[in-house]
Chains A and B, each alone.
Chain A
Amino acid sequence: MPKLADLLVPAPLRKTPKPGEAGVPKTPAPQDLKTSPPERPTDLGRFGEKALEAPMESVAWIDQRMAASGFLTGMLFRKVPKGTNWFYTLGSATLFAFIVQAVTGVFLAMFYTPSTTQAYSSIAHINNDVFLGQFVHGMHKWGASVMVILIFLHMGRTFFFGAYKYPRELNWVIGVVLLILTMTMAFTGYLLPFDQRSYWASIVGININGTGPIVGPYLSDFLRAGPEVGATTLSRFYAIHMLLVPGAIIALIGAHLYLVVKLGTTAPPWTKADKPRIAEPTTLLDAGVAGNGYHPNGTGTIAGVQIDGHGGDGTATA
């Protein structure tokens, strides 16, 4: 029976099937084909089969173009070192808190108006009228605190575990920038509800920036966007909080996680590798991204121990 792809793709564009593949008769058609067609499944049956095939077909279609499945399985089944414990969940917990902020933030943005005359009432509208409004608003508000706590805990973990040392220095640097950006989010988000607390706290915050050496006054002028904290300040904070910083955070989290996968996470510093006397059979899936670029060849003598039986280690899946 024809594949769904063949039904959709016009004939000239179709892949030329290799001999032996489904649809290419290896031998001439049997004689009786010419007289009585072979039994065909009912239309309903064929539709069901096709429907079953469709998801796999489209996944395959995408994978043929992205060639991502090797990388993805490599990432998913890469080995994390012995001793990895609950402290290692703090980074992904931070990521998760960020996702909560992003999702709740999108919903808040649907109802929020960044103008000095309407900001306050639009938040009141969210709180009082919108279905689950106060709940989502509350999640965003408290999620900010949770994310700040988690990012500090995660930084503390990597600090005390010495995880910022070779070869993960760059990931630490990216992390510190993420920390600054997260605090920027906390600061700029605080003005948006435009109640007394946020208004006056932002004034003090902007003035604090203004006392800084050299760039201080420029920074506070930029933040205030005018002689007084007002409409322009609010829209500037809004743009920073909604576009600029989240974009930068997403990009940097991407880079951060790329390095996490590429370099692998540390083992806790107390964990010792007792050297194996006989090489252990490693699973086939150990290949992939686990193969890091540090060993010129994946197999061979490592620390005086012959390691073998793990075809593919060191040769990252393309």
Chain B
Amino acid sequence: MTRQDLLKKLGNKKLTDMFERMFEIRTFEEKIQFLFLEGKMPGTIHQYIGMEACAVGVCSALKEGDIIGSTHRPHGHAIARGIPSREIMAELYGKTTGCCKGKGGSMHIGDIKKGMLPAIAIVGGNIPVVMGMALAFKLKGEDRVAVSFFGDGASNEGAFHEALNMASVYEVPAVFVCENNLYGASTSIKKVLKIENIADRASSYGMQGMIADGMDVLDVYDKASKVVGDARSGKGPTLLELKTFRYCGHSRRDPSNYIPKEEKQSWKKKDPILNFERVLLEEKIIDKSGIKELKDKIDKKIEEAIEFAQNGPEPKPEDTYSDFYVNMEVPR
């Protein structure tokens, strides 16, 4: 689809919504980075800064009943899928008002009722699960699609290969979204992969492979809606590779000294939010004051989310025993 057609198809409302979501992810992540470094937030965090176009582009192509699976780096996926920021924030603080009632934490953000499996922090771990969810949709004849997000690093796990092969063989309505940010923790993919494009791996499973520019939300949306549509209409699963980059460290206080400065700088020039903002302004979809209004709104929203989280109720210690077996108390 040409850019103009795409813009027309999406319409002003959806385009600004997409921008808003991307900006919400960026703001959320920047604020918690600060809170974390100040020691106000418990646990560890893996952030999504720089990758916003991936989650928003894909999730904007989904419908209400669809479901996503995510990784140790789930905040962006969760916001893009529509889990309220305040519930994510409260989860990061371990409060009962969090989306997993404080049981999950940063690496397990999700809410099955809102279309997101609690994130799985075992690299590659969500891929077979998502394949199984898609299998259920097929067996039950439901008009739903399951989407797995994972990284370049995860594509070297056995779980990835087993799941993709099975998905292809059973022709399940799934999309496997590989966010290739060129590093798995500190390891450059050049050290651990002999091929250039992870999407090429699709061919070994007789599956469609596709590549999108993960820094361009419109390109991600365009390709994602095509392959989600394929899955929905029974044409089988796709491996969709998004070429992207994370500006932040892998986790916590990682200064990412293993990434050359020039590489970081060259990617920052392709910033997904700045670029999309430029497109929206050029196409007169929104004006400067509209952008400012929207950014102020998001800023306030995240500040409120922090307040909601910090002031939220702590669980009771004995809550450790709740939410486990469906029909049995935890034997003590």
A and B: real partners?
no
Chain B interface residues (CB < 8 Å from chain A) = none
